[in-house]
Structure 1
Amino acid sequence: MGLDLFMAVASIVAAAVATWAILRLFLSEDDAAAPLQHSPNNESIENPTEDHVENPGRAINETHRNHIKRLIIAVILTIPTFITTMVTLAGIALPHWLTNPWLHAIIATPVMFYCAAPAHNHGTAALKKRTPNAASLLSLAMTIVYVYSLLACVVSWIFPAGSRNQYFAFASMVAVLSLAISPIEQRSEAKQASQSDIPTAQPQAQAQPQEMQESQGMQSQEAQQSAETLVQASIKREIRMRVMQITTTVTMVIAVWTFALWLVFGLQPKLAIAVLISSTVLAVAGLVLQVYDRQSSI
């Protein structure tokens, strides 16, 4: 009883400290005034050089093809581990080699470090800039479950009985769902890139010597409209990124308290379920925000 009480108090205190740290790190006053420049779908905006300037559609199409390749590999590797995990949870006996945790670890590792690399790269970069986004939540969810499962393979004795199962299929499935959304994002970016080239070419084609005054008037109007459009787009992007930052930060706080409260009041095996539920909070919110960010950018 005394140990349980101590663990409950320790969990609540740790959650409170983690909450303060998350809010202080990602929602401090200094960050509120800082320009929000990162978006998981805006690699081309952050690096407007070479292929983006010369041929923006080409670079985006290449990225789209890479996403498709990663998605195919992730699906092929995830299906067997996911089916095996579901069958095992249903209580159906399978050959030992199919449920061998090391086999699942070997299959899930390329999904984690190759297929899910875009989410990890975008999410880590956003966390370093203290502007977390959807990719940050997805990366955290996959990393937490993958590390927990790997530790359960290597040093299972440190976990309480009942909490030594591996959940590599969870991390792989999150990667598959995230990649399933990414190709649609690349298509919307390609459409935007092709449309952005049209206004710049029109004034040159319309500027004829015999229509100089009309051309100058049209160019002036177009320049004013372009400036207004850029200002409106910038404001909308700032609002969207601020909403994303606040939402992801709140989600991380919710995940922390979900983990802590399940350790205190949840059913056994407490640790394993707490890890899964808190990671599910991060993953579901990350996927929803990824869809929201895609729709907002169309």
Structure 2
Amino acid sequence: MTLNTFIAAVCVVVAIMLTIAHIRFFFGEETHKQQGELFHQPPHDEAAPVSAGDTLRTRRRDNAADLRILRKQIIVGAALTLVVVIPILIHTFAPHCPLGPLVDPWWQAVLITPVMFYSGYPVHVDGWSSLADRRPNMNTLASIGTIAAYAYGLLICFAGDLFPAGMRMSYFAIVGIVITLVLLARLVSDLYLPQQPAFPLQLWVDRFSFVFVPVVIMIALWTFVAWLLFGRQPALPMALLTAISVLIIACPCALGWAATLAAVFANENAGRHGLQIHSLGSLQIARHLTDVLFAQEAASRCQEDIRRLQQAGVSTSVIDADAVDDVLATVDSMRKLAVSLGQRPVVAFVGDGPTDERIRHAVDITLEVGEAKEGEAHGHADVIVDSRSTMAVSDLRNLSHAMMANIRENLVWTFAFNIIGIPIAAGVLYPFTSWLLDPSFAAIAMILSSLCVLVNSLRMRHYNPERA
């Protein structure tokens, strides 16, 4: 043991006390009550206050002025981060190249400080307010990780000579990279999913974050304690670096992108095939369709759609939409029949105009055929079908299958990355290989994970639901 017995005992006792307080704060009975509403939200509720953007929220109102501020924050963050990162890369591959002050920690601190406090302001505000509300999210972990990296950089600036030669890297670049990625995820959500109710799987991702973030914080704490107690001297810098590596590699940027990007590109794809998606929940559950009701007027041009649905095992009926009581009775019969067959009924209604409110609440998905005129309301339908589209329900169902498969692939990749990356960042390989994951490589790994999610999600742009 590299510390004397008394200091080691104090460290362990403090860590245990912090762990108990941490568990009670995040997983205590009061917390479960506070989170109960979110964890038990119905999967398809028009009145739900949560929007798609809220899952990556930065306390904005999603209006034009806020988007302009967000763009400025991203431009500042990306530009200053590049000015820091490019000299570092040049120095890494060409160490004898004269870069002068460009790789000096003080110069990097000057450049990254605006990124930390101007660009990162919404990340920190939301991250810590969510933490105080006992609902930590992606911003929480991003804020904690960047604060740790920024603080370590300042230590190098003021007391770098006290650190071993191999531990004098400032890691300011990590701050810029993480903040810029988080803000980019927010911008994508604001631009392409405005005012959309959050779809159930994205809510599930948020719920996962409520558990994932506190667990990562605890892993980082005990990683710090373990290296402080058992690491080679000087133990403190090594403990700080390993804890920062855990926080950075676990920063769930890829998790934040996993469902959002797939939904963005699926939504774009739907638009090209004549479908205006007004509820992402409908795009998620359409793959489970068991029954579809067509209004008589709409059905006259949907014969091919009806045929394809029947081939896929989906029950279809044509009905007079003006006879609302008959529609409701038919929906009720469909649900009972599906339940008797051991299915979970998912019913859609296809009309040629605004749908009666009672029908909208009775079915799971409403589609309205016909392009909306400017300023014309469409009765809050989940999907508006372009008059050119003749296989709207089949296309929606196929898009739903493809999007959810894409999201599952993204989530599997993200979870596998964290399951493998966090222990490596904590140093589990060190006893066998004498190798530690530098925070810079942790940041690179995080970027690669996000890029993999992006590339996989882009496949949704080229998916053709008509050929499925």
Once residues 23 and 40 of structure 1 are traced to their aligned partners in structure 2, the CA distance between those partners, rounded to angstroms, is 29
> In the alignment, what sits opposite 1:220?
none
SS of 1:3's partner is coil
> In the alignment, what sits opposite 1:209?
none
Q: Is there any run of 5+ residues in structure 2 with no aligned partner, and where?
A: 39-49, 264-279, 281-468
1:1-298 correspondence to structure 2 within 5 Å? 3=3, 8-35=8-35, 41-42=53-54, 59-88=62-91, 92-93=95-96, 94-156=98-160, 159-162=162-165, 163-190=167-194, 192=196, 241-266=206-231, 270-283=235-248, 284-292=250-258, 294=260, 298=280
Once residues 237 and 173 of structure 1 are traced to their aligned partners in structure 2, the CA distance between those partners, rounded to angstroms, is 24
Checking the alignment, whether the CA contact within 8 Å between 2:145 and 2:251 is kept in structure 1 is no
CA-CA distance at 1:136 after TM superposition = 0.4
Amino acid at match of 2:148: I
Checking the alignment, whether the CA contact within 8 Å between 1:135 and 1:290 is kept in structure 2 is no
SS of 2:189's partner is helix
SS of 2:135's partner is coil
Checking the alignment, whether the CA contact within 8 Å between 2:58 and 2:123 is kept in structure 1 is no
RMSD: 3.7
Checking the alignment, whether the CA contact within 8 Å between 1:63 and 1:186 is kept in structure 2 is no
The structure in which a higher percent of residues are strand is 2
Does the C-alpha gap of structure 1 residues 165 and 177 become closer, same or farther in structure 2, counting only changes over 3 Å?
Answer: same
**CA offsets per residue over residues 141-174 of structure 1, 9 Å max, x none?**
00111122113323446x5434444221111111
The structure in which a higher percent of residues are helix is 1
Does the C-alpha gap of structure 1 residues 293 and 114 become closer, same or farther in structure 2, counting only changes over 3 Å?
Answer: farther
Once residues 125 and 21 of structure 1 are traced to their aligned partners in structure 2, the CA distance between those partners, rounded to angstroms, is 18
Does the C-alpha gap of structure 1 residues 67 and 175 become closer, same or farther in structure 2, counting only changes over 3 Å?
Answer: same
> In the alignment, what sits opposite 1:215?
none
Does the C-alpha gap of structure 1 residues 40 and 78 become closer, same or farther in structure 2, counting only changes over 3 Å?
Answer: farther
CA-CA distance at 1:43 after TM superposition = 9.1
Checking the alignment, whether the CA contact within 8 Å between 2:12 and 2:225 is kept in structure 1 is yes
SS of 2:254's partner is helix
CA-CA distance at 1:89 after TM superposition = 5.2
**CA offsets per residue over residues 55-77 of structure 1, 9 Å max, x none?**
xxxx4444333323222221111
Q: Is there any run of 5+ residues in structure 1 with no aligned partner, and where?
A: 53-58, 194-232
SS of 1:121's partner is helix
**CA offsets per residue over residues 24-43 of structure 1, 9 Å max, x none?**
22221111111467999429
SS of 2:251's partner is helix
The structure number with the bigger radius of gyration is 2
Checking the alignment, whether the CA contact within 8 Å between 1:60 and 1:189 is kept in structure 2 is no
SS of 2:95's partner is coil
Does the C-alpha gap of structure 1 residues 44 and 22 become closer, same or farther in structure 2, counting only changes over 3 Å?
Answer: closer
Does the C-alpha gap of structure 1 residues 109 and 271 become closer, same or farther in structure 2, counting only changes over 3 Å?
Answer: same
What is the aligned-residue identity percentage? Answer: 28
Checking the alignment, whether the CA contact within 8 Å between 1:132 and 1:249 is kept in structure 2 is yes
Checking the alignment, whether the CA contact within 8 Å between 2:109 and 2:154 is kept in structure 1 is yes
Does the C-alpha gap of structure 1 residues 289 and 252 become closer, same or farther in structure 2, counting only changes over 3 Å?
Answer: farther
Amino acid at match of 1:180: L
CA-CA distance at 1:47 after TM superposition = 8.6
Does the C-alpha gap of structure 1 residues 81 and 271 become closer, same or farther in structure 2, counting only changes over 3 Å?
Answer: farther
Amino acid at match of 1:72: I
CA-CA distance at 1:281 after TM superposition = 2.6
Amino acid at match of 2:84: T
In the superposition, the TM-score normalised over structure 2's length comes to: 0.46
CA-CA distance at 1:134 after TM superposition = 0.9
CA-CA distance at 1:188 after TM superposition = 4.0
Once residues 2 and 188 of structure 1 are traced to their aligned partners in structure 2, the CA distance between those partners, rounded to angstroms, is 54
Larger RCO (CA under 8 A, 6+ residues apart): 1
Amino acid at match of 2:158: V
Amino acid at match of 1:282: L
In the superposition, the TM-score normalised over structure 1's length comes to: 0.68
Once residues 58 and 173 of structure 2 are traced to their aligned partners in structure 1, the CA distance between those partners, rounded to angstroms, is 33
SS of 1:190's partner is coil
